[in-house]
Structure 1
Amino acid sequence: MMKEKIIRPTNNYRWRIGMLIGMGIIVSYLDKVNISVAGSYMAKEFDWSNAQLGFLFSAFFAAYAIMMLPIGIILDKIGVKWVMRVGTLIWSIVTLMTSFVGGFGGILTMRIILGATEAPSYPGSAKAIGNWFPLHERGLATSLFDGAAKFANAIGIGLCSWAIIQWGWRGAFLVTGLLNLAFTVVYWIMYRDPSNHPKLSKEEYEYMKKYGAQETEKSEGGIIKNFLILTRSRKVWGVTIGLMANGFTYFLMLTWLPSYMMTQLNIDLSTSALYVATPWIVATISELLLAGWFLDKLIIKGYSPNKVRKIFLVVGLLFGAIIFLQPTTNNPILAVTYLSIALGGLAVSSGVNWSIPTIIAPKGMVGSVTSFMNLFNNLMAVSAPIITGYLIDVTGNFNSVFIIAGVFIVIGALSYSFLLSDINPINLEKKENISTPSKEEKSVH
């Protein structure tokens, strides 16, 4: 149980920062949605195969994955503010430029640059949440940015479909690029580290620190040495494999869902936008309410933070396993129902997963832990679109790839159950905290 009653500050500027971080994920994810909606039109104009389109989808994620390890170290060395400022500016310009190029080579180049420059978005968001929010608010705060990724898919489908109807496939990149550029201006104005933010009151800052917000400090010792120690951590691998298992289905849906709706379910673009948006809306609501508000409520009431988080991780994935039923129907309503349940469960698991680096990472190393996880997660982002495109060309449908997705989900549930021993901070000096479960669960404080 909680040892003392939490006295909240009168000011809540930290939640403005949380909303800002969420908005950043929304606009950055529009850059992933735009090509999934525009892809079939681009393929028709340039006479690309599904396999070529799959490689184009994966180009972004390949560059993104390659940048994960260096960007984590850079974030922990330099901090969130300047890395994200520069990143948002460059990726906004690149998205706009995509609307002016043509051909496979030109668009491929833009997607590679975009993936490299957007690499700080998720680890930077996780590190910022760790700096700005106490432990008992970490679930909802994390869900604000991870849920924003799902919400971006919901609104992005409609936005990009509208832009394509108005101006062709190039319109999707033009509109999303302008939105990214507008966010860049807002971010430069609003974001600072909590230790030197002029609009953060002393009362709120002390409250954040008292209840577990991480200091914006560099890690103790050599960051490369510490990072190598973390790569031997059982709990880091447990959460990483679980995220990868979740990621295969997530990135499959992110890149190919519009094509699945239009080709296998025979739904036109205007109608498919509504069908595609529905599972992402369910995922957003599920994550905010369950992985966010409800999880934090249980922890504040005194339930074991370790047990609550692990239950949400595993049960969320088990709901995601309903993807096994997807090949059994071509009825649009039933297909969307299965997808909504699956993505809703995966979103709950994902929301909890992304909060874990802010809890287990040693001081100053949230960026490194998050980037390590996201590196392997984005191997799924690279492979899922390619595997899907190849299997569609071979089989003529999506059925086999849904089975593969279900198998990954089961593996993820096993990883959370048996590898993720506890969700307590890693002590770099104690070998027992690197290779074996801790003997005693710590409180939320």
Structure 2
Amino acid sequence: MPQPIHPTHDDLSSGATASAGAAGATMRRSNARYRILALLAIGTMINYLDRTVLGIAAPQLTKELGINAALMGLLFSVFSWSYVASQIPGGLFLDRFGSKLTYFLSMTFWSLFTLAQGLVHGIAPLLAFRLGLGVAESPCFPANSRVVATWFPQSERAMATGTYTVGEYIGLAFFSPFLFALMGAYGWRSLFYVVGAVGLVFGAIWWICYREPRDHPSANAAELEYIEAGGGLTHRKKDEGDATTNEKGTKSTKSTKGGFEWRTIGRLLKHRQLSGICLGQFAGNSTLVFFLTWFPTYLATERHMAWLKIGFFAILPFIAASIGVMFGGTFSDWLLRRGTSVNVARKLPIIAGLLLASTIILANYVESNVTVIVILSVAFFAQGMAALGWTLVSDIAPDGLLGVTGGIFNFAANLAGIITPLAVGFIVAATGSFVGALVFIGVIALIGALSYIFIVGDIKRIVMTE
């Protein structure tokens, strides 16, 4: 994969680079990048707790505020409206101001909107705070991808992406019992107070602890050399007008301060790599959104499980998904280290995961609740395997446009948060059953697999030519 050519006026002189290389040959490599990865994993866990805690509070909240099921479905969906609409602006903000400030402001404001939901006494302010939560969370995953692309060589990016992505599932799998107990003891409002306060505290920790690689006190020259040799340290702000020439002699433009044009979005989407992974991620997210929204209702109404059983069984697919995320990332990096092509190493876990996720349809044809949970756990495990799309964003994004590329990708992926809950709700309302809904989820997963097989093409960095 061609690597971008760094300008001669880069912040390290050639002599300093040579010294770093000599030092890297003799000193033991530090592991500061793993500390940064821990920050991303915790931040992602809090992110998903904040966006999904409404589902845990829903039984008490709907009674106190007099909200019917249809209106509750709207509240679940409205987060994704502002979240999706803010992806491009959030990506632009990220490219302009960098990872540290963007992530700090994002977490601080989304935590404030979460906390504020505990203060509401009517539907209008709750709706407004859900919209605000979506805006505030919008830069989070593009920032995650930017940090991984900066801090990790290509051979470790799938592992890194899988590690922070698993936070989506761990928080829900392992903290749900605590949150249910908290609600039972102190009421639904306490959930928003506690989760919001945790986010505010962690936002301060992020601001204190996060540094770019060359500024991190614990990253030595050997680690910096290792990261840069693997394609890291490349996504940082450039001087206005900076450009390089690619291997064919074509001038390629990089992100420049204030130089973004909206037509860049269309130009990016013309590249099959980006349009293909956007469709594939939409498909994978459709399975995820089903589990985040309709899964408990499915167990209660279609499978007629008691609430105690739902509380136990609902944890199992999330645990399976956590394992799937880690397995998919580790397997992808293992293939890459063994000399497998980037195309196979990145695509194989995603395609296999989406194909296996489509087996969710089989739940329509079994009677045993235990067997149903096994099928759903396998499908969610597979969805976790397929959650490597952000790794591909790091691999294909033009240098200096990772924030915008990630925003486009996240925009497409999170359309599932709007479309899937509404589609499932319409199918269930029209048929009185979840049979068609599970078929819908399975077919979408198959479409995602076909997108990676036939549309994505070679995994290589997009070159934006003038």
TM-score (normalised: structure 1): 0.90
Name which of structure 1's ranges 131-140 and 318-327 shifts more when overlaid on structure 2. 318-327
* 3-state SS of 1:144 partner: helix
The AA in structure 2 aligned to 1:135 is Q
Answering whether residue 443 of structure 2 is matched by residue 424 of structure 1, we say no
Answering whether residue 144 of structure 2 is matched by residue 125 of structure 1, we say yes
Give deviations 1:240-288, integer Å, cap 9, x for gaps: 0000111112111112222222333333444322211111111111211
Give deviations 1:313-334, integer Å, cap 9, x for gaps: 2111011001111222453311
Answering whether residue 250 of structure 2 is matched by residue 250 of structure 1, we say no
The 1:220–1:90 alpha-carbon spacing in structure 2 relative to 1, beyond 3 Å, is closer
Name which of structure 1's ranges 37-46 and 189-198 shifts more when overlaid on structure 2. 37-46
Do 2:161 and 2:391's aligned partners in 1 also have CA atoms closer than 8 Å?
yes
Answering whether residue 182 of structure 2 is matched by residue 168 of structure 1, we say no
The 1:307–1:250 alpha-carbon spacing in structure 2 relative to 1, beyond 3 Å, is same
Could you tell me which residue of structure 1 aligns to residue 341 of structure 2? 304
Answering whether residue 141 of structure 2 is matched by residue 103 of structure 1, we say no
The AA in structure 2 aligned to 1:297 is W
The AA in structure 2 aligned to 1:266 is H
TM-score (normalised: structure 2): 0.86
Q: Determine what percentage of the aligned residue pairs are the same residue.
A: 30
Answering whether residue 380 of structure 2 is matched by residue 361 of structure 1, we say no
Answering whether residue 314 of structure 2 is matched by residue 295 of structure 1, we say no
The 1:255–1:124 alpha-carbon spacing in structure 2 relative to 1, beyond 3 Å, is same
Aligned partners of 2:431, 2:201: CA distance in 1, in Å? 43
The AA in structure 2 aligned to 1:211 is G
1:66-215 to 2 correspondences below 5 Å: 66-215=85-234
Aligned partners of 1:385, 1:189: CA distance in 2, in Å? 38
The 1:157–1:400 alpha-carbon spacing in structure 2 relative to 1, beyond 3 Å, is farther
Do 2:30 and 2:218's aligned partners in 1 also have CA atoms closer than 8 Å?
no
Deviation at 1:98, TM superposition (A): 0.8
The AA in structure 2 aligned to 1:348 is M
The alignment yields a C-alpha RMSD, in angstroms, of: 1.9
Answering whether residue 79 of structure 2 is matched by residue 60 of structure 1, we say yes
Answering whether residue 424 of structure 2 is matched by residue 383 of structure 1, we say no
Larger relative CO (CA 8 A, sep 6+): 1 or 2?
1
Deviation at 1:43, TM superposition (A): 2.5
Name which of structure 1's ranges 352-361 and 48-57 shifts more when overlaid on structure 2. 48-57
Do 1:252 and 1:385's aligned partners in 2 also have CA atoms closer than 8 Å?
yes
Could you tell me which residue of structure 2 aligns to residue 281 of structure 1? 319
* 3-state SS of 1:75 partner: helix
Aligned partners of 1:336, 1:104: CA distance in 2, in Å? 34
Could you tell me which residue of structure 1 aligns to residue 377 of structure 2? 340
* 3-state SS of 1:128 partner: helix
Unpaired runs of at least 5, structure 1: 1-5, 431-445
The AA in structure 2 aligned to 1:392 is V
Do 1:143 and 1:292's aligned partners in 2 also have CA atoms closer than 8 Å?
yes
Give deviations 1:326-362, integer Å, cap 9, x for gaps: 2224533112111111111111111x21100100111
Answering whether residue 310 of structure 2 is matched by residue 272 of structure 1, we say yes
Aligned partners of 1:179, 1:277: CA distance in 2, in Å? 22
Could you tell me which residue of structure 1 aligns to residue 451 of structure 2? 415
The 1:401–1:287 alpha-carbon spacing in structure 2 relative to 1, beyond 3 Å, is same
Unpaired runs of at least 5, structure 2: 1-23, 239-253
Aligned partners of 1:272, 1:190: CA distance in 2, in Å? 39
Aligned partners of 1:37, 1:30: CA distance in 2, in Å? 10
Answering whether residue 364 of structure 2 is matched by residue 318 of structure 1, we say no
Do 2:153 and 2:231's aligned partners in 1 also have CA atoms closer than 8 Å?
yes
Give deviations 1:280-311, integer Å, cap 9, x for gaps: 1111112112x222221221111112112222
Equivalent pairs counted in the alignment come to 423
Aligned partners of 1:226, 1:214: CA distance in 2, in Å? 23
Match of 2:237 among 214, 217, 231: 217
Aligned partners of 1:122, 1:9: CA distance in 2, in Å? 32
Aligned partners of 1:112, 1:331: CA distance in 2, in Å? 40
